[in-house]
Structure 1
């Protein structure tokens, strides 16, 4: 088996590689979205702490 045959996947390359691509996108989103949400929460908490300090 040569490299070209491997990437062709016996005629199923479109299905196999699109599945890998979709899995990579989902895994990327599973890393990126929670990190973004954490940054938003930290920003909100900092803002609330500053408001509480001004009121005190």
Structure 2
């Protein structure tokens, strides 16, 4: 497709809001799929470290 200007490209023949919203939602979901496991892993490691410290103190 050819567009005469940047604003035409952004408007996408009147479908711009739908197209760019779809891109935005996709990017947010992809970022969440990357960040969520990292945060969960850190929380699990922290919880296990606390549990190990408690066990060592109780012995």
- TM-score tier by shorter-chain length is 0.7 to 0.9
Deviations 1:18-46 (A, max 9, x none): 00010011011112211110111011110
Once residues 32 and 9 of structure 1 are traced to their aligned partners in structure 2, the CA distance between those partners, rounded to angstroms, is: 31
1:28 equivalent to 2:5? Answer no
1:3 equivalent to 2:9? Answer no
Aligned residues: CA RMSD: 1.0
Unmatched runs of 5 consecutive residues or more in structure 2: none
Moved >2 Å (runs of 4+): none
TM-score, normalisation: structure 2? 0.83
Aligned residues: 56
Once residues 15 and 8 of structure 1 are traced to their aligned partners in structure 2, the CA distance between those partners, rounded to angstroms, is: 10
More helix by share: 1
Unmatched runs of 5 consecutive residues or more in structure 1: none
TM-score, normalisation: structure 1? 0.87
